[in-house]
Amino acid sequence: MDLSYVWSFIYCLVAAILVKWTIKHVNIIVKLPPGPWGLPLVGYLPWIRKNAYESFIDISKKYGGLFSVNLGSETVVVLNDWKAVKATLLDQPNVFSGRKDVHLARYMVKKKDIVFTDGNAWKIQRKLTVQGFIKIGLLNKSMENRILDLTQNVIEKLSLYNNKEAPMDSIFFSSILLTNWKLISVIPIDKNKLQKYEDALNLIFFGLRPDNPLILFEWLRFIPPNRSGYKAFKNACDYVNNSLREIIDSHLNNWKDGNAHDLIDRYIAEIKKREINGQKAPAPFTTDNLLGTLLDTFAAGVDTTNVTCLWAFLYLAFNQDIQRKAQKELDEVVGRFRMPSLDDFTKLPYTEAIIMEVHRKASLVPLAVPHRAIEDAKVFGYTIPKGTTCYPNIYAVHHDPTLWDDPQMFKPERFLDENNKVVWPPYLMPFSVGPRACLGQPLAQMELKLIISSLLHKFHFNFPVGQNLPTFDVDYSITLRPFPYSLLIKLREI
């Protein structure tokens, strides 16, 4: 038998498949918003800096606020200005409510959490979690009392450094973690494991950063010797997941109907309602989904509040006049013989504006969590096909000179009107916008107000004399965080 005919057929078949694939993708690309050309296989990645949000700003100078770019494994759409974000996430919220299927996130939460999943089960789970938070008192006075315990814990830590240098990166994390933990479980967390939790969570956050090669090229997880960090990521996920699973199992073993003390109890109650004749309830009424909710609360909520505090006191140390102005406001409203409360914030506009400016300037999650179009969409005359990943460039919006005067400057007064009232513009979106906005926003805002105001009321923050000043360079994880720095702490006189 002449095998040349067989090989000729195979070559023609492969060529036909490639031509068909090329025509299909060219038809998609010509409908997409314009963008830069890249190279085969790697796309435009060779020209993308580590801080991709800055590269996207450069690209937008040529292609505008809505553009497409190939990142090796896929062509994505970047929403690089407020108009593009509004036209998608706000004007077509359901269409752009999907999530990109990332293997690392899938391993961590098994597509059973709130942040990284979508669809009808996600909607139910989000609503169920919000209702659980309300029932356990997230928005009432008891929550404020818990946060005041958190601030007192931080104050006690900083008081040990009076007239000394305090390593700020060791101040907030464990206190915030312990406070958030009390929301999800009345069973105390093992304090001896706090450092292990922090180390594991930091590994997870680092793994989920947008520029991680494992996200851009998922097949790298099979390449020895260290599989591009995949093994370390898995071990960190397993440690946190197993710890949370033990707490859930403990709640199940001690379950009593009508005796709900925390978020886990509330969630289990909803699961029990839907278990009929011993049959398991459908998603999201499962313990796996409960685990996913706990991961979101336990991990993301702690990290973002911690890093926001780190940026806040770095900015305040660099801006002594702003720090003193806030302290003057606090002294006039609160006095020197008690600590600030949430009720005080109706009369603390400048202090609140500082927190808002920290949100804007730091832009902790610069590209948010990627969105995905769940159906074909039209935006500014272009077609964004179903399944396309979309990156809202929050950093670009927060530093857009057409929206903000001197965006590189730290200016809290930009959020105050002529009557000294706080104004929150729609394009300030540290928690994202639309149906995928962070559900932990109320808790985070309460914590930040009480932590930052209380510490400003109690201490003054400056840099140690004779040492090099820290920089605003970022340590890029899933959040932008400052590199470790120390501040000189001084108790303010009563």
For residue range 178-234, list pLDDT tens digits in order. 888 888 888 888 888 888 988 999 899 889 888 888 888 888 898 887 778 899 999
Binding residues, by number, are 438
Counted domains in the chain: 1
pLDDT of 151 above 60: yes
Residue 445 lies in a domain: yes
Is 3 domain-assigned?
A: no
> What is the predicted pLDDT for the residue at 455?
98
The verdict on residue 4 lying in a domain is no
Give the annotated binding-site residues for heme: 438
Q: Is residue 14 part of a domain?
A: no
Inside any domain, residue 27: no
| 26 belongs to a structural domain | no
Confidence band, pLDDT 50/70/90 cuts, at residue 319: very high
Residue 377 has pLDDT above 70, yes or no: yes
Cβ(361)–Cβ(398) below 8 Å: yes
The DSSP secondary structure of 251-316, one letter per residue, reads: HHHT--TT---SHHHHHHHHHHHT-BTTBPPPTTSSHHHHHHHHHIIIIIHHHHHHHHHHHHHHHH
447-459 pLDDT, tens digit per residue, is 999 999 999 999 9
Q: Are 442 and 138 in contact (CB under 8 A)?
A: yes
pTM: 0.91
Round to whole Å and give the CA distance between 317 and 310: 11
pLDDT tens per residue across span 278-296: 778 888 999 999 999 998 8
**For residues 231 and 158, what is the distance between their CA atoms, to the nearest angstrom?**
37
Say which range, 13-27, 235-249, 343-357, 386-400, has the weakest mean pLDDT: 13-27
Please tell me the distance from the alpha carbon of residue 274 to that of residue 289, in angstroms, as a whole number. Answer: 14
The answer to the question of residue 338 being in a domain is yes
In a domain, 307, yes or no: yes
Question: Residue 300: which of 117, 103, 131, 115 has the closest Cα?
Answer: 115
Q: Which residue range forms the structural domain that includes residue 154?
A: 32-491
CATH number reported for the structural domain that contains residue 284 in this entry: 1.10.630.10
